[in-house]
Structure 1
Amino acid sequence: MSYDLAVWEGVRPADDKTAGKVFSDLYDRCLDEEVREPPSERITAYVAALLQRWCDITEDEGETSPWSVGPLIGGASGPLVYFGLAWGRADEASAYAVAVAESMELICFDGQQDRLRP
């Protein structure tokens, strides 16, 4: 089981319901297509910042990575990245992921609870 986060570029939605719709639309447009566009520069920088703290799960021989899928950049397309965290590491890793998103002025959305973070 994993804990999922979505991070995207744009204006912060007014509420959780609007954020859920924005996420759904972005997912359909960016990730649910056979041919994906490359991740934007800001999303690429965001993923790189996460990977500076913990390595990609595809490179983790000691299984210390909190990511549940890899490569982490594989969940990115255009202005969106959607990724999972291992349930046992979700508290620490999601707090860090949210803080990095906030510092980069990106929107962070909790996929399990359908709510904006922080």
Structure 2
Amino acid sequence: MSYDLAVWAGPSPADDAAALEVFEGLYDRFMRGEGQSPTPRIRQYVEGLVTRWPDLGDDDEDEDASPWSDSPLINNASGPLFYFGMVFSKYQEAAEFAADLARSSGLVCSDPQDRRLIT
């Protein structure tokens, strides 16, 4: 089981329903099919995440220490959208860090599973 977050570059939606609508539109446009290279802001955001917790297999640490559900994390980014999963047993700390990093980076963070905007 995993916990997923979506982070994207763009204006902050007005509410949870608007965030879900924006996410679904971005997902359909950027994650289906071939995808695109991540934008510089999204790439920088992902680099911030893997600085905190490296991609699986990137170092000698036990893979159980990483919260990421797959690797390399950058493969979950396309254009202005980054949609990624965390293992459920470690998601709380990682999701809090990811949301804080998104806020400080001027990015939008949403939980599509719970259909809520993370502010």
Distance (Å, rounded) in 2 between the aligned partners of 1:75 and 1:58 = 16
For 1:21-100, what aligned pairs fall within 5 Å after superposition? 21-33=21-33, 35-59=34-58, 62-63=62-63, 64-100=65-101
Stretches of structure 2 lacking an aligned partner (at least 5 in a row): none
Please report how far the alpha carbon of residue 8 of structure 1 lies from its aligned counterpart in structure 2 after TM superposition: 0.1
Counterpart amino acid of residue 40 in structure 1 = T
Q: Which runs of 4+ in 1 moved over 3 A?
A: none
Stretches of structure 1 lacking an aligned partner (at least 5 in a row): none
Number of aligned residue pairs: 117
Please report how far the alpha carbon of residue 37 of structure 1 lies from its aligned counterpart in structure 2 after TM superposition: 1.0
- Output the aligned Cα RMSD: 1.0
Distance (Å, rounded) in 1 between the aligned partners of 2:113 and 2:89 = 15
Distance (Å, rounded) in 2 between the aligned partners of 1:58 and 1:11 = 35
Counterpart amino acid of residue 106 in structure 1 = L
- Spell out, residue by residue over 1:30-63, the C-alpha distance to the aligned partner (whole angstroms, 9 max, x if none): 0011x21100000000000001100102425501
